[in-house]
């Protein structure tokens, strides 16, 4: 068994800091886009393949199909069943992972870079990617689990709030659709197979590789993993996002604490305003106890234990959100303070001290956010999937440092418009 050696080496890798990251990029003969960082510090190879196969690419009536398809990839292949796949991973000390969000589905592999272990692990990953069988028994099992999870979540005010908020700010759009017991129950094996064949093709695949291999080895790995993928063409993006009209949505619930979400669709991942909004959000509500929202809502008035804000850019306009929990009887007062803070910030921007502190935190924290191969892989896959510049990481400190207060105010004015803000309250009086 080689799991313990791999975990030990992974711990060693987490202690190092990547500086001056050199990202190499090419198109594999299969048509897949490849992004590669060579690092020889530890004998580990990390690979991730992203596909345009997220929840936004699924019809509303079959919501949940993206997650089921991704989750069933490793439940059986043409030459291995689920148990054999699991045993093979243990034998070579490798770890297979991944997940699904609105935009993409990912399959990842961590393995030792020594030839025997690496080749065995890559063969397994290739089989899972290229010849999944999607057994009916596994499909029904996962559908049952998913439906049970959805029904349990529908009893919790936090889950209700997140689901209803997405639907409110993305009316009629896939970004606002969440799986329901009915939509999951309607999914059959033919749906899974069809979605796999149309969305897991090499033409739309983005391969990210980081670790103890050469450029020539990385080229061979990328082609090996993608050459037998389905022949489906490039996948068209979801329909454009339509901004909602300003409104307040109240959802009845017996909870003593009200769950409040305020926001709107705001920014694409490739928007030039990304850095001004990133810097600005730190002072507004993304910087924890040093943020304005936390100072005004929690520290001065005690309306909430925690209050936050964030931008979550996606392929299309991802959300801007302010969130908090407060006692039912003081929701109105808390909302008034939040509105005053947000309006004042959009109008005047941060103080010179706030701006300087935000920049320092974001720049100084970058090393910790990419101090292991696994963390760097996340950046590499994001760069590849969203088509960001290869110099993104090297340029990050300079782009943050260059943000001015005027740029910040202008970006907020463009992307956080009062006429489009939606307020969602669960457990409202």
Query: Looking at the domain assignment, is residue 283 inside a domain?
Result: yes
Query: Looking at the domain assignment, is residue 238 inside a domain?
Result: no
70: its two tokens: 């991704």
Residues 261 and 154 in one domain: no
Rg of the chain in Å (alpha carbons): 23
The pLDDT score that the predictor gives to residue 319 is 98
pLDDT tens, residue order, the chain (429 aa): 333 344 433 434 433 444 579 999 999 999 999 999 999 989 999 999 999 999 999 999 999 999 999 999 999 999 999 999 999 999 999 999 999 999 999 999 999 999 999 999 999 999 999 999 999 999 999 999 999 999 999 999 999 999 999 999 999 999 999 999 999 999 999 999 999 999 999 999 999 999 999 999 999 999 999 999 998 767 888 899 999 999 999 999 999 999 999 999 999 999 999 999 999 999 999 999 999 999 999 999 999 999 999 999 999 999 999 999 999 999 999 999 999 999 999 999 999 999 999 999 999 999 988 888 989 999 999 999 999 999 999 999 999 999 999 999 999 999 999 999 999 999 988
Query: Looking at the domain assignment, is residue 241 inside a domain?
Result: no
Torsion of Cα atoms, 203 then 204 then 207 then 208, to 10°: 150
| Structural domains counted in the chain | 2
Q: Are 389 and 215 in contact (CB under 8 A)?
A: no
Residues 160 and 284 in one domain: no
The pLDDT score that the predictor gives to residue 2 is 39
Last residue of a domain, one of 167, 194, 226: 226
Residues 297 and 333 in one domain: yes
The pLDDT score that the predictor gives to residue 236 is 84
Query: Looking at the domain assignment, is residue 236 inside a domain?
Result: no
Residues 268 and 358 in one domain: yes
Q: Can you give the pTM of this predicted structure?
A: 0.93
Query: Looking at the domain assignment, is residue 41 inside a domain?
Result: yes
Q: Are 165 and 248 in contact (CB under 8 A)?
A: no
Look up the CATH number of the domain holding residue 73.
3.30.830.10
Residues 407 and 260 in one domain: yes
Query: Looking at the domain assignment, is residue 232 inside a domain?
Result: no
Residues 329 and 386 in one domain: yes
The pLDDT score that the predictor gives to residue 1 is 36
Alpha carbon distances (Å) from 147 to 98, 157, 162, 196, 277: 21, 18, 17, 21, 37
Residues 27 and 64 in one domain: yes
Query: Looking at the domain assignment, is residue 160 inside a domain?
Result: yes
Residues 218 and 269 in one domain: no
The pLDDT score that the predictor gives to residue 428 is 86
Residues 328 and 391 in one domain: yes
Residues 263 and 204 in one domain: no
Nearest in space to 261 (alpha carbons), one of 347, 329, 333, 159: 159
Residues 206 and 310 in one domain: no
> Could you tell me the residue range of the domain that residue 211 belongs to?
3-226
């Amino acid at each position: 068994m080689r799991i313990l050696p791999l975990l030990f080496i992974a711990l060693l890798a987490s202690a190092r800091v990547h500086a001056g990251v050199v990202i190499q990029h090419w198109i594999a003969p299969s048509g897949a886009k490849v992004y590669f960082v060579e690092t020889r510090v530890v004998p580990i190879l990390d690979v991730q393949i992203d596909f345009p196969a997220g929840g936004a690419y699924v019809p509303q009536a079959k919501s949940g199909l993206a997650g089921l398809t991704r989750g069933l990839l490793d439940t059986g292949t043409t030459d291995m069943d689920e148990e054999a796949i699991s045993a093979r991973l243990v034998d070579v000390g490798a770890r297979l992972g991944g997940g699904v969000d609105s935009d993409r589905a990912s399959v990842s592999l961590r393995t030792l870079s020594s030839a025997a272990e690496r080749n065995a692990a890559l063969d397994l990953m290739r089989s899972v990617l290229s010849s999944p069988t999607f057994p009916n028994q596994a499909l029904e099992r996962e559908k049952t689990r998913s439906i049970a999870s959805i029904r349990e979540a529908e009893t919790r005010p936090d889950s209700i709030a997140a689901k209803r908020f997405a639907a409110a700010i993305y009316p009629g759009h896939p970004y606002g659709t969440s799986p329901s017991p009915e939509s999951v129950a309607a999914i059959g094996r033919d749906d899974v197979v069809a979605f796999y064949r149309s969305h897991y093709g090499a033409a739309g695949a983005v391969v990210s590789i980081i670790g103890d291999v050469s450029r020539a080895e990385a080229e061979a790995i990328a082609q090996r993993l993608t050459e037998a993928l389905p022949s489906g063409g490039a996948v068209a993006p979801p329909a454009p996002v339509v901004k909602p009209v300003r409104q307040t949505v109240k959802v009845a619930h017996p909870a003593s604490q009200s769950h409040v979400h305020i926001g709107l669709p705001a920014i694409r991942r490739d928007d030039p305003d990304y850095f001004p909004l990133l810097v600005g959000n730190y002072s507004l509500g993304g910087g924890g106890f040093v943020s304005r929202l936390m100072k005004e809502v929690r520290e001065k008035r005690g309306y909430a234990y925690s209050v936050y804000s964030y931008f979550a850019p996606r392929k299309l306009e991802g959300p801007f959100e302010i969130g908090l929990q407060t006692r039912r009887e003081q929701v109105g007062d808390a909302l008034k303070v939040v509105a005053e803070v947000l309006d004042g910030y959009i109008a005047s921007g941060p103080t010179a001290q706030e701006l300087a502190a935000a920049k320092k935190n974001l720049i100084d924290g970058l090393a910790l956010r990419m101090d292991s191969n696994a963390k760097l892989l996340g950046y590499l896959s994001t760069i590849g999937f969203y088509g960001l510049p290869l110099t993104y990481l090297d340029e990050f400190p300079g782009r943050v440092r260059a943000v001015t207060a005027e740029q910040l105010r202008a970006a907020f004015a463009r992307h956080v418009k009062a006429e489009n803000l939606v307020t969602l309250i669960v457990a409202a009086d």
